[in-house]
Structures are given as C-alpha cells and as structure tokens.
Amino acid sequence: MLDLTRLLPGAFCTQLLADFGAEVIKIEQPGLGDYWRWTEPKVKLQSAQFLALNRGKRSITLDLKAAEAHEAFLRLCETADVVIEGFRPGVMDRLGLGYDVLKGRNPRLVVCALTGFGQEGPLAQVAAHDLNYVGMTGLLQLANGKTASPMATGLPIGDIGGGALMATAGILAALFDVSRGGIGRFVDVSVADGLHAWTGFMTARWNVPDLKEDTAPPFDAPFNKPFYSVYATSDGRHMVTGAYERKFWVTLCEVLELPEWLDRQWVSGSEEEDLRAAIAAAFARKSFAEWTRIFSEREACVTPVLTAREAMESDHARARGTVITVNDPVEGKLHHVGNPIRFDRNAFNSLTPAPALGEDNDGLLAEIGYSVDEIAMMRVNKTI
C-alpha cells in the first residue's frame, strides 16, 4: 500500500490497515517529509502523534515532480494493491500520476482519493481542516444547539470519523471486489460526505411533516432530556446519566432519593427544568469518588466522566489490551492506543516503530530494480 497522504486522516486509515497486516509505504517529500513529523509536542526528535499513527510503516522519499522519482513511483505501483492520496482534485493528474496512468501500469490497483469535499462540486478546491468540515456539515450546530458561539469538540471527528474510517471501509470494499476477480477501483472519499453520514441519523427527523428545524431541539429525545445528561459532583468532577430505559430510571430515582419523579421521567417545559435541577442538586451532594463507587454497585447507566489518561489506565482498558508498547531505538519506550478491533486469533497490532524519513529508500528502490549506482545518482540529484 502506497501512502501519499500527510497529517491525520490518511495516517489513521493506513495505521488501521498496517495493523491488519498491510505493508504500508509512506511516499514523502525529500527533506521535509510528512510535516506532521515535526509538530509539537515531540517525544525527542519526532511528534508524539506522528509516532503513534505510523507504526509498522516504511518510508521512501520521492520528489514526484522529477522524472526519476516519477518512474520509481510507477514501478512501486506495479506491485502495489492500494494507493491513497490526499491532494486537492487534479494534482495527481498534473503530476502525470492520475488514475488512468496508474491503472495502466496495474489494472488491479485500488486508488483512494481522500479529500475534504470530494472530486467535484463547488467546494472541491476549497482548503479546509477538521473544524471547517464539522462546521460546514451541520455537526457543530447539532452538537451545540442554539448556543451563541458553538464550541469545538476538541477531537478531530471529521478527520477520523468522516475521513479515515470511511476511506478504510472504501478501500477494503474495493479490495474485496478485486479478490473476487474484479478490476481496480477509484475510491472517492470526502470528509464532508462522511460527516453528513454521521448527521443523517439526526436529520432524518426532517422527513416528519410540519417539523420545523428552528423549533426542534438540537437532538431528538432522549439526547436532550434530564435523564440523558451530565451533572457536576460536589468536588467539580462530573457523572453521565444514560437512564433511558424505565428500569434504569427507577434505579436512578432510588439512588438519588427522588421518589417524586419516579413517574415523571418524560416531562417537558418548566417541569423538565425542575427535574434537571433536582438531579443536579442530588449529584452535588456527594463527591465524584462516592458516586462512582455507588453506581458501580447499581445498574442505572450512570458512569464517571474520566480524563483520557484515567480511561487508558483503567482496569477495563488494561484487561482489553487497549494500550500497546512500542520500543523505538531513538524515541524510547512508547505507549500507544492499539488497533480497536479484536479477532478470535492473532493480535492485529504493528509493534514496529514509525520509520525515520527515507529510512527505506535504498531497500525499496533495490526491490524494484534500481542498482546501487542508480540510487546514488538519485540521491545526488535530490530526487530522493
């Protein structure tokens, strides 16, 4: 698999595939490489985030504007199964590496273009990042309702959920088709399209006659109800209540000592606000640790809001093998979140550290037929 992408969406996609056993070869710009390598915070020499999402990959530097590197890339394509790129639409064609050229060298090749807004449409050439996509697809408004200034989520939902995961699914579907005797495919993945798929669950309600968007809550029930919310504890931490089903609501009322609300779970208007205030007052009477202990013994779908570190170091995460250890000869011992998918046999996690820039230049070029002298000349010409 040849990875021409930079930054998060492509890296997350190809990391999943590398963990599944794909040989992922990063094609990087000589001298600079994937500029995510150099972003802060760094462990020692390279970005902590780059190291986390480039495990088990190989790296070759190629100046794709140079004829020598251009031909080297085409040779790599001859034995590759997948190419993924994240350039704006038209860039690969201008480089002389468009889909028609690539499939001419390898008809079974799957080429995935992972972009912000897709290959066509009025926004196809618009530059944007995760927060832009989240804002332009309605997700930010849905998540915040009618607040004066919608708040960002703090997580790259667009890059990962709208881009990386959709690209992974598209690539695997295309490879499955090829495995059944089909030819290669061009896979057009748009982060914005992926986010529209996320919001489709909520916007489906607009098919209801006479339902006006401006009068509807940001989320359909139960997602905006007091029993499905977040509450502060006495020490400033928070608990989540997801007591949607009747049996969980009954338990919640018992634990919080709110018997008067037992048969009024679905109230609205001023009563709804009264219920929310009553639950908030109840949670404010005890500490985070106390509520966590109490609800660990009662089944009510009430759980603590953990920090990311607490979650990664939890007993459950340890039992699931969520965190893996990679020994990097330069950066030291690194702890990363591993592949989230479990199978009945064979662990799918690459424990090889992320490659240095151009670490595999000589080996990969030799594999596709370049001599030592030819490789040396490419280095002199700065095409690698």
206, 138 Cβ separation under 8 angstroms: no
Catalytic residue (one of 3, 34, 159, 360) = 159
What pLDDT score was predicted for residue 364? 98
CA distance 8 to 87: 13
User: Which ranges of 99-138 would DSSP assign to H, the alpha helix?
Assistant: 99-105, 130-136
CA distances 256 to 20, 227, 261, Å, are 46, 12, 10
Closest listed residue to residue 58, CA positions, set 33, 36, 32: 33
How far apart are the C-alpha atoms of 146 and 149, rounded to whole Å?
A: 8
Residues 216, 221, 225, 229, CA torsion sign: negative
Whether 2-198+321-380 shares its CATH topology with 228-305 is answered no
Domain spans of the chain? 2-198+321-380, 228-305
Q: For residues 29 and 272, what is the distance between their CA atoms, to the nearest angstrom?
A: 57
Q: Which residue's entry shows tokens 């969520």?
A: 322
Predicted pLDDT at 361 = 98
Q: What is the pTM of this model?
A: 0.92
Cα-based distances in Å from 112 to 27, 82, 127, 305: 15, 8, 19, 37
Separation between Cα atoms, residue 207 and residue 246, nearest integer Å: 28
Cis peptide before 41 (omega within 30 of 0): yes
291 in Cβ contact with 240 (< 8 Å) = no
User: Which residue in the list 70, 129, 196, 238 is annotated as catalytic?
Assistant: 129
Active site (annotated) includes residue 129: yes
pLDDT tens-place values along the chain, 384 residues long: 999 999 999 999 999 999 999 999 999 999 999 999 999 999 999 999 999 999 999 999 999 999 999 999 999 999 999 999 999 999 999 999 999 999 999 999 999 999 999 999 999 999 999 999 999 998 888 877 665 567 677 789 999 999 999 999 999 999 999 999 889 999 999 999 999 999 888 888 778 887 765 544 455 556 679 999 999 999 999 999 999 999 999 999 999 999 999 999 999 999 999 999 999 999 999 999 999 999 999 999 999 999 999 999 999 999 999 999 999 999 999 999 999 998 887 777 889 999 999 999 999 999 999 999 999 999 999 999
Report cis status (omega within 30 of 0) of the bond before 209: no
Q: Is there a catalytic annotation at residue 210?
A: no
pLDDT at 41: 96
Q: At what angle do helices 67-79 and 372-380 cross, to 10 degrees?
A: 130
Look up residue 35 and give its DSSP letter.
Answer: G
**Phi-psi group of 305: left, alpha or beta (phi > 0 → left; psi -120 to 50 → alpha; rest → beta):** beta
The CATH T-level fold of domain 2-198+321-380 is Rossmann fold (3.40.50)
Q: Tell me, what's the pLDDT at 219? A: 52
pLDDT at 223: 67
**Cβ atoms of residues 95 and 64 within 8 Å:** yes
Assigned CATH class of 228-305: alpha beta
